[in-house]
């Protein structure tokens, strides 16, 4: 719970800086370990934030730096469905910025491309609170993307059988 509070405090700091510099409210979609902690999906220790680059203007850099350790993920190289926003969960405790977490199912699918030990540990926890039919739907949506880098799509396809066998999806 302490780690969750630390992550939330960084987002509250983002809000303060955005207000101080008169930056308009904007949407931010978190995925990965920080999203899992903020959404109370898992408790793995992580302090880095992963979020989707929504073509943010450079002036938001002073806001993002409040996260300290972050990765802004390019949509074209990230394994996510084009419909991720429809399933995202808004964190209403943040009153200025529009802070969203990807659904557990979207996070699971985003991790299939690597399936490293930490990804498997996360999926092991997330799978219990997830809808397997929805995971299959998201996989299909990702495979239909024509704006996903071919190398990323190929790596995803390569890992898919291992994922399906391990989790019966």
pLDDT in tens, 3-37: 999 999 999 999 999 999 999 999 999 999 899 99
pLDDT in tens, 84-139: 999 999 999 999 999 999 999 999 999 999 999 989 999 999 999 999 999 999 99
Contact 136, 163 (CB under 8 A): no
Domain ranges of the chain: 1-167
The architecture in CATH of the region 1-167 reads 2-Layer Sandwich (3.30)
Which candidate, 72, 48, 76, 78, places its Cα nearest to that of 60?
72
User: Could you tell me the pTM of the whole model?
Assistant: 0.96
């Amino acid at each position: 719970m302490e780690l969750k509070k630390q992550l939330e405090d960084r987002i509250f700091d983002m809000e303060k800086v955005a207000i101080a510099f008169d930056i308009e409210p904007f949407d931010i979609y978190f995925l990965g370990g920080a999203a899992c902690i903020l959404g109370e999906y898992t408790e793995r220790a992580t302090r880095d934030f992963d979020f989707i680059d929504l073509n943010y203007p450079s002036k938001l850099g002073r806001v993002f730096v409040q996260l300290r350790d972050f990765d802004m993920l390019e949509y074209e190289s990230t394994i996510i469905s084009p419909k991720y926003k429809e399933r995202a969960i808004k964190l209403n405790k943040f009153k200025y910025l529009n802070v969203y977490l990807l659904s557990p199912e979207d996070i699971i699918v985003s991790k299939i491309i690597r399936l490293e030990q930490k990804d498997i540990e996360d999926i092991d926890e997330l799978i219990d609170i997830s809808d397997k039919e929805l995971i299959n739907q998201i996989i299909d949506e990702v495979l239909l993307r024509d704006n996903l880098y071919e190398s990323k799509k190929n790596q995803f396809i390569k890992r898919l059988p291992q994922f399906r066998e391990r989790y019966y999806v």
